[in-house]
Structure 1
Amino acid sequence: MRPATGRGIVTTLGEEAVMQDEWTALEHAAAHAIAYRQETGSAETTPVADYAAMLEAFAAPLPEEGDDPVSVIEHLVEAATPGIRAMTGPRFFGWVIGNSHPTGVAADWLASAWGQNVGNVVAAPAASAVEKVAADWLLELLDLPRDSSMGFVTGATVANFVCLAAARSEVLRRAGWDVEADGMFGAPPIDVLIGADAHATVFSGLKYLGLGAKRVRTVETDAAGRMLAGDFERVLRGCAGPVIAIAQAGQINTGACDPFAEIAPLARAAGAWLHVDGAFGLWAQAAPGRKHLTAGVELADSWATDGHKWLQTPYDCGFAIVRDAEAHRRAMAISASYLPPAQDAERDPSAYVPELSRRARGFATWAMIRRLGREGIAELVERNCALATHMGETLGGDDGVALVCPVALNQFMLRFGDSDEATLAVVRQVQEDAVAFIGAALWRGQWVMRVSVSSAATHLADAEVTIAAVRSAWAKVRG
C-alpha cells in the first residue's frame, strides 16, 4: 500500500481506515448520546432494568481479539441503555443529583477528547488556567473569602476529606506538631465536634484521616437537623486541645442549614477550625432569596460543595475550598524532581487535591458558569426550592399524607398513613410506575419518602405530573 501523510506522520492506507473507524465510533457515540437526552427529556415513563438483567447483558468471556470500534459502541449502547437510570430527566428526585446539563456535557466531551491530565501547569496550561478562572468565579458566586484556595475534586466526599486534611494540618501545627512529616502517632489528640444529623460522607473523611468516625463529640440538633448553638458551645467548652468543628449547609433529608452566624464566632474564639459540608446547601449563597438560610457561612475556615449538583456539571465534579491556602497546600501538595514547579503567579492544580493524575474538571465548571451566569444559577436554585415547597405542601395536605418537616430548601419528606409499611409501599409503587423516581430514607427512626429537587430540567409541569404520580401510587396502596 502506498503511504499517506498527515501532519508530518507517515501512515498506510490500512492504518487510515482503522482510524476512520475510530472517528466513526466517536460520531456514533455522540449521536446516541444526543438521542438519549432528547428521548429521556420527553418520555412519559422511564422504567429501568435491574442489576441482574444488566449483568446478563454484559457477561461474556474475556475477548481474545479486539473488535472494531463501531461495533463496540453499538453493543455498549444496546446493552446498557435499558439499565440507565434517568437521572438527567425532569422527574428524577431520588437523590440530590443535577441533570448533567448539555453544555457541561459538551465541555466534558472536549475534556475527554483533549485527554488532559491536570497534574501540573506545564503539562496542562489551558486546564490549569481555566481552573483558576473558574475558582475565582465560584468564590464570587458563593460569596466566600476571595483569597481562599480551591481544589477540583470528584465530589463533596473527597472535598470534605481535603478540607479536613487542611484542618488537621493547621490545628496540629498550632499545637507544635507536623502531621505531614510525623503522622498521627504521638500527635496531640484532636477533638472533632459534629452535629447529630451530619452526612455519612463526613465520617468517611474522618476515617481516611485517622481521626476516627466514632471519636467525635456529638452536638444536639433540632427537629430539622440543625445544630443547637447552645449545645455547640457546651460541647466546645469541654475540649482541651486542638479542635475541628464540622457543620453543614443542607441536611440531606430536610435541607436545613446549621446556625453559622452563631457557631462560627464560638469556634473562632476557641481556636477551633470550622468546616462546612455544603454539598448542595452552600449554593443557597448564590440565590439572593435563599441566602439568609446560610447567613454567616462565610465565617468558616473551609467549605466542601459539589458542581454535579446545583451547578449541573457532569459527574464527577466537586470543590474543596479553604480559607488558609497555605494549610491547604501543606496538606495536599505533591513534589518530585520530574514535576515542573509552578512559577510566579501560576496556580499548580495538583497542590490542592489528593490526585496527581485526574481529568480536567475545570472545563465543564467554566462552561456551566458561562452558560448560566450569576442570574441563571440564582434562578435555578430559586426554582428548585419553590418547586420543592409546592410539591411538599400540596402532597402534605392530602388525606393520610404528612409533610414531616417544613420545606427549608429543596428537600422534603412525606409519610403515608403514619406507617412504615404504607410509606415504603408508596415509594415502591412510584418506582414501579416509573413516571418519576423517588426514594426512601430513615428519619428519626421512621421511614419516609424523601424527595430531592435539584435538576435544571425540572419545571412546574414536571412537579404537577409527579404530584399526580404520587397520589396515584398512594391510591393504589390504599386499595
Structure 2
Amino acid sequence: IPVLASTEIHSSALKALATLGIGRASVRQLPAPGGVLDLTAFDNALTAIDGPVIVVANAGEVNTGAFDPIAAMADRCAIHQAGAWLHVDGAFGLFAAASPALAHLTVGVERAHSVAADGHKWLNVPYDSGFAFVRDHEPLRDSFLTGGAYLASGPEAGWDPLSHVPEMSRRFRGLAAWCALKAYGRAGYREMIERCAGNATQFATWVEATPGLEMMAPAPLIIVCFRLTAQGQDADATDALNREAVATLQSVGRAFVTGTVWNGRAAIRAAFDNWSTTPADVAVLQSAIADVMTRLTGCSDATY
C-alpha cells in the first residue's frame, strides 16, 4: 500500500512502517517548502493512486515545529474513492490544541483516523511515554487481541491493554501521564504550553535581531531552527562552523541544543518544551550562544 508524506516525515514513522511490513520503500515523500507539505504536489500524488493509501501529516515537524495543512489534507482523503487513512504525527504539536492562542495550528487533527503523540515531550513525563488515538478501535483490537487459558481475557475481565498494543506485558506507563494531568489539569497545561511558546518567541526574536545568526525557518510553535554565519565563509565552512558550535555548546553545559540539517545545510535546533524553563533560562542560552560566537568567529556584536 502506498504511503504519502512530506520530505519531513519523522524517522519513527518510517521505522513503524518497516516494522509493520509496509516498508520504507512504500513512502512517497512530497515537497515541503518551509517544512509544510505542498498541497498541489499532494493533490497530484493522491489523484494518481487508484487504490487505498496511507497519508501521514505532521503536527509540529521536529526541526521547525511546522504544521502541514491537515484540514485540507483531510478534505482530500475524504473523497479518495478507494479509501485514504489519515495519520497525524502530533509528537510535538498535538498539545497546542489546549491553547486558544495556538489551537488554530491543529485544525483538522480531529478528522484523522489516527493520531500519535509523545508524553515525554510536552506532557513532561519521563521516557518512554507515547500514546495514540484511533477513530475506530475495532481494527486495533482485532489486530492485537490474543488469548490463552492462562490469560484472564474474557468479557468479564474488562478492558485489557494487551488487546490494544503490541506488548503482552509492560510497566504502568500510563500512571505518570495520569498523575501529571490530574495535578495540573487543562488550565495548568494551557499555561505551560503558552509559556513554552513565549520562550521560543523570545529566543527567535533575539536570533533575528543578532548579527552573525540567522533563522533557518519560521518558528510557529516551540522549536527554533537557526545557525551561525560568518562573513566570507562558504557554505561548507558555515556547516562546519555550526557543527562545532553545537559541540561547544554541549560541552560547556550552560544550555543544551542539538544539531540538525535543514534544506541541506547544518543548523542548530533549540526546543522549548520543558515546564521549568523561564525567560531567565532563555537569556542563559542567548549568553552561551553569544560566547560561542565570540570564541569561534570573533564576532562580539551579540547582546542578550
Post-superposition Cα deviations, 1:397-447, rounded to whole Å, max 9, x if no partner, equal: 111110111211111111111611222222222122211111110111100
Instruction: Give 1:428-443 correspondences, 5 Å limit.
Output: 428-443=247-262
Are 2:13 and 1:194 aligned? no
1:347 match: 159
Structure 1 CA distance, aligned partners of 2:140 and 2:58? 20
Structure 1 CA distance, aligned partners of 2:227 and 2:129? 33
Are 2:193 and 1:381 aligned? yes
Structure 2 CA distance, aligned partners of 1:455 and 1:292? 22
1:423 match: 242
Are 2:62 and 1:252 aligned? yes
Calculate the aligned-residue CA RMSD, in Å.
Answer: 1.4
Structure 2 CA distance, aligned partners of 1:191 and 1:287? 35
Question: Which amino acid counterpart does residue 207 of structure 1 have in structure 2?
Answer: A
Are 2:235 and 1:406 aligned? no
For the pair shown, the structure with the greater C-alpha radius of gyration is: 1
Structure 2 CA distance, aligned partners of 1:238 and 1:255? 29
Structure 1 CA distance, aligned partners of 2:248 and 2:280? 21
Structure 2 CA distance, aligned partners of 1:266 and 1:440? 35
1:281 match: 93
Structure 1 CA distance, aligned partners of 2:157 and 2:103? 33
Shift of 1:230: 2.1
Structure 2 CA distance, aligned partners of 1:220 and 1:318? 28
Shift of 1:219: 2.1
1:319 match: 131
Post-superposition Cα deviations, 1:132-167, rounded to whole Å, max 9, x if no partner, equal: xxxxxxxxxxxxxxxxxxxxxxxxxxxxxxxxxxxx
List alignment gaps of at least 5 residues for structure 2.
231-237, 299-304
User: 8 Å contact 1:193–1:244 — kept in the other structure?
Assistant: yes
* Secondary structure of 1:427 counterpart: helix
Please point out which of 183, 205, 229 is paired with 2:16: 205
Shift of 1:199: 0.7
Shift of 1:305: 0.5
Question: Which amino acid counterpart does residue 171 of structure 2 have in structure 1?
Answer: R
Instruction: Give 1:107-186 correspondences, 5 Å limit.
Output: none
Shift of 1:218: 2.1
Are 2:285 and 1:475 aligned? no
* Secondary structure of 1:353 counterpart: coil
2:26 match: 215
Shift of 1:235: 0.6
1:290 match: 102
Are 2:87 and 1:268 aligned? no
1:445 match: 264
Post-superposition Cα deviations, 1:204-255, rounded to whole Å, max 9, x if no partner, equal: 01111111102222222122x1112222111111111121111111111010
The share of aligned pairs that are identical, in percent, is 38
Post-superposition Cα deviations, 1:114-149, rounded to whole Å, max 9, x if no partner, equal: xxxxxxxxxxxxxxxxxxxxxxxxxxxxxxxxxxxx
1:238 match: 48
After TM superposition, the runs of 4+ consecutive aligned structure 1 residues lying more than 4 A away are none
User: 8 Å contact 1:396–1:414 — kept in the other structure?
Assistant: no
List alignment gaps of at least 5 residues for structure 1.
1-189
Greater alpha carbon shift after TM alignment, 211-220 vs 397-406: 211-220
Question: Which amino acid counterpart does residue 212 of structure 1 have in structure 2?
Answer: G
* Secondary structure of 2:268 counterpart: strand
User: 8 Å contact 2:61–2:92 — kept in the other structure?
Assistant: no
User: 8 Å contact 1:342–1:348 — kept in the other structure?
Assistant: no
Shift of 1:345: 9.0
User: 8 Å contact 2:119–2:125 — kept in the other structure?
Assistant: yes
Are 2:148 and 1:329 aligned? no
Structure 2 CA distance, aligned partners of 1:460 and 1:334? 50
